[in-house]
Amino acid sequence: MAGFDDLASERSKAQFDVEEMKVIWAGSRHTLEVSDRISRLVANDPVFRKDTRTMLSRKDLFKNTLRKAAHAWKRIIELRLSEEEAAELRFYVDEPAFMDLHWGMFIPTIKGQGTEEQQQKWLPLAYKMKIIGCYAQTELGHGSNVQGLETTATFDPQTDEFIIHSPTLTSSKWWPGGLGKVSTHAVVYGRLIIDSKDYGVNGFIVQLRSLDDHLPLPGITIGDIGMKFGSGAYNTMDNGVLRFDHVRIPRDQMLMRVSQVTREGKLVQSNVPWQLVYGTMVYVRQKIVSDASCALSRAVCIATRYSAVRRQFGLQSNGIETQVIDYKTQQSRLFPLLASAYAFRFVGEWLKWLYMDVNQRLQASDFSTLPEAHACTAGLKSLTTSATADGIEECRKLCGGHGYLCSSGLPELFAVYIPACTYEGDNIVLLLQVARFLIKTVSQLGSGKEPVGTTVYMGRVEQLMQCHCAVQKAEDWLKPSVILEAFEARSMRMSVASAQNLAKFDNQEEGFLELSADLVQAAVAHCQLIVVSKFIEKLQQDIPGKGVKGQLEALCNIYALFILHKHLGDFLSTGCITPKQASLANAQLRSLYSQVRPNAIALVDAFNYTDHYLSSVLGRYDGNVYPKLYEEAWKDPLNDSVVPDGYQEYIQPILKQQLRNARL
């Protein structure tokens, strides 16, 4: 039968050890074991069913999410799951919910910005979920511009309290997830005012709702901000609005790791940089990069399996049509996304390491790597989420008409994913942060301050400004050193050109605004270089398993040459490569697609996704697409009755009218 046979035959063609690739994708044998076990546990639990999500009203959808969250918590306790296993369980439940913000932002903020004492007080309550918290930073009038927040926290020395207040409509907290209907507490960001002096934005732990009856505490107005894009999707989350009318909290509820307010109302700065107030965002951006590879690989898995099952045109001698995955156009759209999923996985792994490293250094009062950690998390968050959002939509198109059906899983995945381009920092705003970092690095070249970390290549500025690409034949593009040099030279030259253009302005801030579109492109080039170089570094590790390394090399080359092809203008205009070398890169890319083709299904099997997680008829492991699509259609509530509700009121009168007209 079509589908079953197609995928079985594809799997038999694989030229590498899929089980070993699963370990590489998971990160370790241990992680694979945990994620495999937990994903099956979730898939086999009827409470975690997802198939009716797009058909529920907002209220039913939300209540169902609450039910799932409560059930998830119950299972975590009953099974005594570790922190790692519990996080996996929440991941595979696959439904945005207040829990994400509680575990993903509220707790990390207290850990990162609270003193030892504050952590001892609040963390046990949060870990046991005796309180539920969210992260209330963004306001109706200000999101990107954190320093523009208007909420005030005024110290009252009489009572040793802060008075939290929303002075204007635009100061209403707006967007925080989990705030609208669930959270009992929030970390609220507001301006610290002491003795009428404004000391800028700080975080405060504020109780919002009664722990007895869940009603808002006096002075607090709170609610949900309304339906968001798509059906189901992010509407399981209660993004909220919050206003304060002179709400009092004890002084020790200001998060005081970065600066402290004494009983006398004196502000004392710690030796840590003030930017640690932004620390949770660095943590979450790092996490978002890892999650991008999950969302993209999920869409790619669906589109790849379906492309092997779907046949159109080109009758072969045996009378069957061509699998659409065999069309070169399909390959040239699909395989770069497959390669990107792997590339984002590895850069995510590296970023996790970078984040752990910066944290360890911070504990030892070494703050030197913080600016790089900020630039890398901001830039890679931007790059990977934009590519993933676009990639999911491309996968929908790769599945033709059926991709537009909710049962393909792609519309909901797209709707749930796209806000990642906005939350935790608008992607353009974040690239501008990277651009500032690059300009600063370029301006310090030659000053004796050597560039470090991901900008170390900038130390070779003279060589990179002059080098000529050595490619003479298509296979030369397979050499990692050739690819790296081309990407380094492009990034170096774009940053230097931006810095030179900026230097022509008397006012640097005005210049920065004027040149911001070019600066963003320079930032993108730098971030793409990071992704390519981390993929290449990954390949230098010991990679066991028959054929695994070869497949990863092919994917790494596809990623790099696809980016080169997409941004050819950059590479040509900076003189990094010639038009002839560009055309050789293209020829090499085509040949790489042919190399990956027989392995495509096995490469997506290596993600080890359950059908429950994919929630897609088109992406089913068994390939049994058509009977299941047919079956799924009949489940739609519209098909509950043969004659639809409304027939007598609305259809019949039209038909009768037409009949009369026809007789006239």
- Residues belonging to the active site: 424
Sheet hosting strand 240-244, strand order edge to edge = 173-174, 240-244, 220-224
For tokens 């639809």, name the residue. Answer: 644
Three-class DSSP category at 409 = coil
If one asks whether residue 423 binds ligand FAD (CB under 6 A), the answer comes out as yes
Measured from each CB, the residue nearest to ligand FAD is 143
- How far is residue 550's CA from residue 24's CA, in Å, rounded to a whole number? 13
Q: Smaller CB distance to ligand LFVS4E46: residue 427 or 533?
A: 427
For the bound state, the minimum distance from the C-beta of residue 11 to ligand LFVS4E46, rounded and expressed in Å, comes to 32
Q: Choose the binding region for ligand LFVS4E46 from 73-81, 137-145, 160-168, 357-365 (rule: CB under 6 A).
A: 137-145
Here the tokens at position 185 are 């507490």
For the bound state, the minimum distance from the C-beta of residue 283 to ligand LFVS4E46, rounded and expressed in Å, comes to 8
Residues counted in the chain = 664
- Pick what 394 binds: ligand FAD, ligand LFVS4E46, none; C-beta below 5 to 8 Å, kind-dependent: none
Between 117 and 136, how does the x/- string for binding to ligand LFVS4E46 read (CB under 6 A)? ------------------x-
Q: What is the DSSP string of 193-206?
A: EETTEEEEEEEEEE
- Pick what 281 binds: ligand FAD, ligand LFVS4E46, none; C-beta below 5 to 8 Å, kind-dependent: ligand LFVS4E46
If one asks whether residue 278 binds ligand LFVS4E46 (CB under 6 A), the answer comes out as yes
Q: Which of 92, 105, 82, 73 is nearest to 35 (CA)?
A: 92
- How far is residue 550's CA from residue 543's CA, in Å, rounded to a whole number? 10
> Which residues lie closer than 8 Å to 475 by C-beta, 6 or more apart?
588
Q: Smaller CB distance to ligand FAD: residue 233 or 536?
A: 233
Beta bridge partners of 186: 134, 206
If one asks whether residue 110 binds ligand LFVS4E46 (CB under 6 A), the answer comes out as no
Q: What is the DSSP string of 121-155?
A: HHHHHHHTTSS-EEEE--BSS-SS-GGG---EEEE
For the bound state, the minimum distance from the C-beta of residue 533 to ligand LFVS4E46, rounded and expressed in Å, comes to 22
Burial label, 360 (beta-carbon count in 10 A; 0-12, 13-18, 19+):
exposed
Q: Smaller CB distance to ligand LFVS4E46: residue 131 or 308?
A: 131
If one asks whether residue 416 binds ligand LFVS4E46 (CB under 6 A), the answer comes out as no
Three-class DSSP category at 450 = coil
- How far is residue 549's CA from residue 281's CA, in Å, rounded to a whole number? 35
Four-CA torsion 166, 168, 170, 172, nearest 10 degrees: 20
Q: Choose the binding region for ligand LFVS4E46 from 144-152, 207-215, 256-264, 462-470 (rule: CB under 6 A).
A: 144-152
Return the number of other C-beta atoms located less than 10 Å from residue 652's C-beta: 12
- Selected from 108, 112, 133, 176, the binder of ligand FAD by CB under 6 A is 176
Q: Which of 361, 384, 166, 162 is nearest to 253 (CA)?
A: 162
Measured from each CB, the residue nearest to ligand LFVS4E46 is 104
If one asks whether residue 284 binds ligand LFVS4E46 (CB under 6 A), the answer comes out as yes
For the bound state, the minimum distance from the C-beta of residue 509 to ligand LFVS4E46, rounded and expressed in Å, comes to 10
If one asks whether residue 138 binds ligand FAD (CB under 6 A), the answer comes out as yes
Here the tokens at position 526 are 């730098």
- Selected from 108, 143, 232, 336, the binder of ligand FAD by CB under 6 A is 143
- Selected from 35, 119, 137, 574, the binder of ligand LFVS4E46 by CB under 6 A is 137
Q: Smaller CB distance to ligand FAD: residue 55 or 429?
A: 429
> Which residues lie closer than 8 Å to 54 by C-beta, 6 or more apart?
231, 232, 406, 411, 412
For the bound state, the minimum distance from the C-beta of residue 610 to ligand LFVS4E46, rounded and expressed in Å, comes to 20
For 652, the enclosing helix (H) or strand (E) is helix 652-663
If one asks whether residue 112 binds ligand LFVS4E46 (CB under 6 A), the answer comes out as no
Q: Choose the binding region for ligand FAD from 132-140, 206-214, 606-614, 645-653 (rule: CB under 6 A).
A: 132-140
In one letter, which amino acid is 448?
G
For tokens 């007209």, name the residue. Answer: 661
Binding site for ligand LFVS4E46 (CB under 6 A): 100-101, 104-105, 135, 137-138, 143-147, 177, 275, 278, 281-282, 284, 287-288, 291, 370-371, 374, 423-425, 429, 433, 436
Binding site for ligand FAD (CB under 6 A): 101, 135-138, 143-144, 175-177, 234, 239, 419, 422-426, 428-429, 432
